[in-house]
């Protein structure tokens, strides 16, 4: 991700946070959870995801990312 794309993404996230706070009058917290298109995760992934309530399986999240990538490639290449 280049600097311009990162800056744009960061601005969009800040705007979404402001909208959520204004509409629902709630506190918000940004949790950086990123899964690469190949399913790779960062070293701190489990620490961040543990802050999200609910049940999840890391392997299932990785599988979803990989299948999403495969679906996009299938649409583009066929």
- Per run of 10 residues, the mean pLDDT along the chain (length 78 residues) is 74 87 87 81 85 85 90 90
What is the reported pTM?
Answer: 0.60
Range 39-59 burial, b when 16+ CB lie within 10 A, else e: bebeeebeeeeeeeeeeeeee
Rounded distance between C-alpha atoms, residue 48 and residue 64, angstroms: 18
What pLDDT score does 43 carry? 85
């Amino acid at each position: 991700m280049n600097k311009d794309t990162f800056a744009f993404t960061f601005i969009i996230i800040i705007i979404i946070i402001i909208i959520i706070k204004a509409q629902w009058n709630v506190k918000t917290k940004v949790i950086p959870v990123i899964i690469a298109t190949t399913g790779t995760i960062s070293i701190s992934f489990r620490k961040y995801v543990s802050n999200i309530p609910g049940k999840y399986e890391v392997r299932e999240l990785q599988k979803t990312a990989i299948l999403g990538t495969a679906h996009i490639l299938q649409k583009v290449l066929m």
